[in-house]
Chains A and B, each alone.
Chain A
Amino acid sequence: MSEFKIAHRENDTINILELKGYLDAHTAPKLEEAFQSLMSTRRFNIVVNCRELSYISSAGLGVFMAFIEDIRKNNGDIKLSNMSPKVYNVFDLLGFPLLYEIVPDESEAVKKFSGKAK
């Protein structure tokens, strides 16, 4: 059984989701739920830290696609950070770097938000 966890941190107005484990069709609903609850409380500045994400399937990628439009409409964004090369390859194959900001380190993503806010 694949295992997947999400931890949530808040850094000022920026919400950081730390993903851990396998994100596939079975675990995707958890990430969906997390995005949903962030959006329902109108928290649109989101950084997804993928340091411990070991696998992502197309269903996992779909979750990001499902929310990005609404989040950007609300002046927010999803930025991704700390991907392992293997995970980055999956994102890259599909052309995600053209749609999302993917940065090496979380602090960089946070900085980008802060710059925008000020």
Chain B
Amino acid sequence: MKIRRVIYIGGAFLLVMVKFAFDVIGKNIDIGGVGFQILRELLAIAIFVLIFLTLEGERGRRALNPIRTVGFLLLALAGVLVAALILTSMPAGGFDAKELGLIPLDYPTLFIASLLSLIIGIFAVVVLRALRDLILHIRKKGTRRTLLAWIVVLLAATASTVMLKPLDVGVLTTVLGILTIIAGIANSFRLHWIVYLTKREKVYGLVYGFFLFLGFIGLNVLLSQGFLAGRSLLYYSHPAQEFAQLTFYCANIYFGMAFVSTLFHIPTADAFERKRSEVTSLSSLGKLVTQVLDFNELVDTVTTMTMQVCEAKSCWLEIIRAPEEGTRGGEQVQTLPEVAGSGPPYHVQVVALKNITRGEIEDLVPVTRKSLRDAVMVERKPLLVDDCASDPRFKGTATKLPGSIVVVPLLSHVGLIGVLYATKETAYGFVKDDLDLISAFADQASVAIENSNLIKKSIERERLLKEIMVAQEMQKKLLPQSVPQSDVLQIDAVSTPAFEVGGDYYDFMELEGDRLGIIVGDVSGKGVSAAFYMSEVKGIFQALGRMYTSPREFMISANAALAGSIDKHSFVSLIYGIVDLATGSLVISRAGHCPMLYVSGNSVAYIRPTGMGLGLTTGELFGNAMEEHTLTLREGDVCLFYTDGVTEARHDGDEFGYDRLLALVQRIRHKSASEIKNEVLQTVQNFTGNQPTHDDLTLVVLKWLGSRPEDRERTSIGDTKNE
């Protein structure tokens, strides 16, 4: 591309030199032949074509800026006029007119004529390109065709002069010239670029248009035959003169029209500009509705656009929330007015602000007393204060007051979600259009914000669901996969998780000396934190369980281990029993957990040694409170460990309770451990009916079958197993 341009420029320069040589020869020797004449003209045409091609290649197809094009043209025109005036005022002999031809009287004349012609010719090419660009800037039907028609007749008129001597006037040329000017007039209505200028640009355009109009008149006068400049061009090349002159006439008309048209557009420039920015702002806000993943970005854009749209001085957006966001509908919310202090019954949060500080906002619309915000929240309509200084609602405001302020509620289907404010420095700064626009804006913004909230909520829900699944998975893995098998002790266990993850835990551990540890517990809270504490309890049990043969001692050391890591408001209840499989002795300690149900023969009782929950307190208090209960199992005895999911199982406000459980187990005490487990579970589930279990439920059933024969011999207990 670059090489091509170098060739064009080099070629043009070379041709200029050749042409100059020709002219020098022509001055001294009267060759007079038609061939020589045509050769000169062809040279001139080639020069300008090459210049055109060079200019065309110069800038690619960059977007045209009309006002800059016009400005540049004016500058170039001024340059050409100055150059023409300087060059023609230089001392030179001028031309001798002979037989319609022109002959320079001296070399300065020849030199000046050549230079001036080149300058004017190049300028004509520049003007032609500029006109083409402006006319084509905004295309309508036929734009291209009219332009093409004009260029065709212009070039035809130019070509028709090739055979003409400098001062000769051809009929064909005249006709084509007139056609060119008519086509030029037709093209001079293609002024759509003016409409889309900003107001400022229109003012510039008006000035540029005016001076271009005058400048082209001047140039056209200079190029008329009476002046040296006109004669120079005619001498240099008749086609070039024709081309330049016609182009300049048309430019003269075009910019005259442009001037008038701009003049008419200026009064509506403001309105047009406003409408245009409205459209762009609204459409970009419309797009924003879909880009709601970043809330901060969203509200920032809303304020930025509000500023732009009504040329506000400052702007801010508040999100209004009900005091208790977390509570669901239908639930009675009891507030504590005395406790909560004198605060408002809603929560205000400034989420985006432009050109104003939080302190100023707090001063202008204080939360503590009635302000414009309250008015808008009640009325749910935009509020305009034309003159803040005279408004009583701003009395006592320390901050410098804005001239006028507009306050618009953001409404969604759930009600008021926010308030948008815009201020202007001057009183009566907002017109009705502004108000409409900001309202429209607020509507769009509330939709966007609402969507953003919905998406956030659904993401949150998704996250919670995943969390619950993870916790459920964890919980499942923490519970034993099977129960220990023993020929003297029947064991069965079940744990049904609630809808959410609970913190029920049970485990077994074979201890040295033929003993078995049975632990059942409940971690306060639900979800991942409960599952986490549960895994910690399991860790503690696995680690410390083997070290202690006394449940009480295990509890004390487990409490110490847990104390460091557990939350202030969380705790763990445990019940831990160790059965000696050889002797049937059962030692129990209870750390805040539900008492063990013990059925022996016809007697049935809850075994409830004292003991506090783990994590409630550290140190001596816990140890002092912890008791240990020992009992000796007899054949057919049943022990039931469980969690509060059993006793607190509810049906219409009625609890399953300890008494029902006791009666039930007493009735079915003859059945096997598995049967007892199943029956208790079934009964509790029947009791709740279709109501969802809101707590998990765990059951561990032990049934003592009696000592092994060898143990029996050893311990000399004469009981026989008859089952």
Q: Which residues of A does B touch, CB under 8 Å?
A: 1, 3, 5-8, 10, 24-25, 29-30, 34, 37-38, 41, 54-55, 57-59, 61-63, 65-66, 69, 86, 93-96, 98-99
Contact = CB atoms under 8 A, between A and B. Distances in A.
29 contacts: A5-B334, A6-B334, A7-B334, A8-B336, A8-B338, A25-B525, A37-B336, A37-B339, A37-B340, A57-B648, A57-B695, A58-B524, A58-B571, A59-B524, A59-B525, A65-B571, A65-B616, A69-B568, A93-B593, A93-B595, A94-B571, A94-B592, A94-B612, A94-B613, A94-B616, A95-B592, A95-B611, A95-B616, A98-B617
Given A1-B330, A95-B625, A98-B621, A34 B336 contact: yes
B522 A93 contact: no
A86 B332 CA distance: 25
Contacts, number: 86
Interface in B595-653: 595, 610-613, 616-617, 621, 625, 644, 648, 653
A61 B572 CA distance: 12
B573 interface: yes
Contacts of A65: 568-571, 616
A34 B573 contact: no
Contacts of B326: 29
A58 B525 contact: yes
Contacts of A98: 612, 617, 621, 625
B331 interface: yes
Interface of B: 326, 328, 330-332, 334, 336, 338-341, 522, 524-526, 568-571, 573, 592-595, 610-613, 616-617, 621, 625, 644, 648, 653, 655, 694-695
A7 B341 CA distance: 15
A66 B648 CA distance: 24
B607 to A, nearest CB: 13
A3 B522 CA distance: 24
B232 to A, nearest CB: 94
A70 B611 CA distance: 24
B338 A10 contact: yes
A23 B569 CA distance: 14
B334 A61 contact: no
A61 B568 CA distance: 11
Nearest to B694: A24
4 tightest A-B contacts by CB? A95-B612, A66-B569, A62-B569, A58-B524
Nearest to A65: B569
A1 B524 contact: no
A38 B339 CA distance: 6
Contacts of A96: 612, 616
Contacts of A62: 524-525, 569-571
A1 B331 contact: yes
Given A3-B332, A37-B339, 7 more contacts: A5-B334, A7-B334, A30-B334, A58-B525, A58-B644, A66-B569, A95-B625
A85 to B, nearest CB: 11
B612 A58 contact: no
Nearest to A54: B653
Contacts of B336: 6, 8, 34, 37
B331 A93 contact: no
B608 to A, nearest CB: 8
A72 to B, nearest CB: 12
B562 to A, nearest CB: 13
Given A6-B334, A6-B336, A8-B336, A25 B594 contact: no
A66 B625 CA distance: 21
B424 to A, nearest CB: 40
Contacts of A8: 336, 338-339
B592 A99 contact: no
Contacts of A58: 522, 524-525, 571, 573, 644
A96 B644 CA distance: 17
Given A8-B336, A61-B524, A94 B573 contact: yes
B617 A93 contact: no
Contacts of B328: 1
A3 B594 CA distance: 25
Given A59-B524, A61-B524, A99 B569 contact: no
A37 B338 CA distance: 10
Contact of B339 (A29, A34, A55, A94): A34
Contacts of B648: 55, 57
A1 B595 CA distance: 29
A16 B326 CA distance: 25
A12 to B, nearest CB: 14
Contacts of A94: 571, 573, 592, 612-613, 616
Given A62-B569, A95-B625, A98-B612, A41 B341 contact: yes
Contacts of B341: 37, 41
B597 to A, nearest CB: 14
B339 A93 contact: no
A98 B525 CA distance: 22
B339 A41 contact: yes
A66 B525 CA distance: 13
A65 to B, nearest CB: 5
Nearest to A66: B569
Contacts of A69: 568
A43 to B, nearest CB: 8
